A and B are shown apart, each in its own frame.
Chain A
Amino acid sequence: MNLLKMFQARGSAPVARERLQILLAHERVRLGPEDLLTRLRDDLIATILRHVEIDPAKVMVKLDGDAAVSILEIDIEIPREKIVGDGKRRPLGGEELISAA
């Protein structure tokens, strides 16, 4: 057992990593609902990218609202040429703003 330990736990870095992981998991929950928006944005971009080619810089995710309700506002700009309907590619030019509020 002791011999095994000698080979396994060599330095203090694994302890540092574990302490950080536990601490940051707590702090992220306590300090930031803002982090929710980032994660949502990243997930949305990943999901949309699976279907349509978009520019991640043109994805807007905002949380607005008043005391009673929050409104999640998502604006995703997709170039018209990327959207394919009835099997044909639409003509080039012009950009379409798809908005879901």
Chain B
Amino acid sequence: MGNVIVVTSGKGGVGKTTSTAAIGAALAEAGKRVCVVDFDVGLRNLDLVLGAERRVVYDFINVAQGDAKLSQALIRDKRVETLFLLAASQTRDKDALTDDGVERVIGELKASFDWVVCDSPAGIERGALLAMRFADTAVVVANPEVSSVRDSDRIIGLLDSRTRRAEGGQRIDKHLLLTRYDPNRSARGEMLSVADVLEILSIPLVGIIPESEEILRASNVGAPITMNAGAGVAAKAYRDAARRLAGEPVPLVLPSEKRPFFSRLFGRRAA
């Protein structure tokens, strides 16, 4: 039976889709069977980030409503053969997804995949609640910024109350993924530090993704950042996060301050 992860945040634009694609690809490249599922009905983007936007024929709602078989809707990645995508519907309204329909599709996915990674829509409405509903594990994506941290806190409350596991009296595993982190700004006291965010949200940290140019490049070309042995720091940070999710004890190091020699000489002024 596979493990269901929801990648969620409350706030939009913090990196849920990028993180879903990167973590999904990293787990698949480690040899696991992975399906990434887009829950953002009407505003799907996971297909685009994965470079599969022209291959979507059937989507999640078609399967949930019984108009297509799961096997017809799954899109196999052309680069990593154990990575699959179940796209969201682009046209229909979000009420087309029902609790029962989602439960059945997730159940089917769990039976044939090691990992089912659900990309939640932003907000705390129906779509976001459905994305987390059947999850075993949650990855809460946050930026070191006040509105993102506040929304993450709200999402953590919902994970503890509105998921199937929480309703059954069980706990859901929650992990914090801190994205767009800038160690230099944090060191200068201009950005919340990792310790600040951890103290406020008090859930365990699964990874720190530094602000990086690689990320835009990856989405430009439609290849998750972890693919093709991406060598940058962000790619490595995502791969490490995926290994931690899989239970491997990978030590977590704070991204180092990398400042050019001259700016170090002249201190803060030049940075």
Give the B-binding residues of A (Cβ under 8 A): 9-14, 16-17, 19-21, 23-24, 27-28, 31-32, 34-35, 37-38, 41-42, 56-57, 59-62, 73, 75
**Is B220 at the interface (CB under 8 A from chain A)?**
no
Interface hub of B157, B168, B186 (most chain A Cβ within 10 A): B157
Instruction: Write the chain B residue with the least CB distance to A75.
Output: B169
Report the bound CA distance from A28 to B157 in whole Å: 8
User: In the complex, how many angstroms separate the beta carbon of A10 from the nearest chain B beta carbon?
Assistant: 4
* A10 closest partner in B (C-beta): B189
- Chain B minimum-CB-distance residue to A60: B169
Whether the Cβ atoms of B169 and A62 lie closer than 8 Å is: yes
Q: How many A-B residue pairs have CB under 8 A?
A: 74
- 4 additional A-B pairs beyond A28-B157, A37-B161, beta carbons within 8 Å, are A11-B189, A16-B196, A27-B154, A34-B160
Contact A20 B146 (CB under 8 A): yes
A21/B189 in contact, CB under 8 A = no
B171 within 8 A of A: yes
CB distance from B247 to the nearest CB of A (A): 13
Task: Contact check, A13 vs B193: say whether CB atoms are below 8 A apart.
Answer: yes
In the complex, which of the residues B157, B171, B188, B191 contacts A32, with contact meaning CB atoms closer than 8 Å? B157
Min Cβ gap A42→B in Å is 8
Residues of B participating in the A interface, judged by any CB pair closer than 8 Å = 145-146, 149-150, 153-154, 157, 160-161, 166, 168-171, 185-186, 188-193, 196, 199-200
Q: In the bound complex, what is the Cα–Cα distance between A28 and B199 (angstroms)? A: 15
A59 to B165, CA, bound (A): 11
Contacts A20-B149, A62-B169; is A13 near B154 (CB within 8 Å)? no
CB<8 Å pairs between A and B, sample of 15: A11-B189, A11-B191, A12-B189, A13-B190, A14-B189, A16-B145, A16-B146, A23-B150, A28-B157, A34-B160, A38-B166, A60-B168, A62-B168, A73-B169, A75-B169
Task: Check A56/B171 contact, CB under 8 A, given A17-B200, A37-B160.
Answer: yes
What is the CA–CA distance of A59 and B160 in the complex, to the nearest angstrom? 14
Pick from A12, A14, A57: contact of B170, CB under 8 Å = A57
CB distance from A16 to the nearest CB of B (A): 5
- Decide if B166 touches A34 in the complex (CB within 8 Å): yes
Pick from A14, A31, A41, A42: contact of B157, CB under 8 Å:
A31
Please pick, from B153, B188, B192, B199, the residue contacting A16 in the complex, using a CB distance under 8 A: B192
CA distance A13 to B153 in the complex (A): 18
> Given A17-B200, A57-B170, A35 and B157 touching (CB < 8 A)?
yes
Nearest chain B CB to A75's CB is how many angstroms away? 7
Give the docked Cα–Cα distance between A38 and B235 (Å). Answer: 33
Are A27 and B161 neighbours in the complex by a CB distance under 8 Å?
A: no
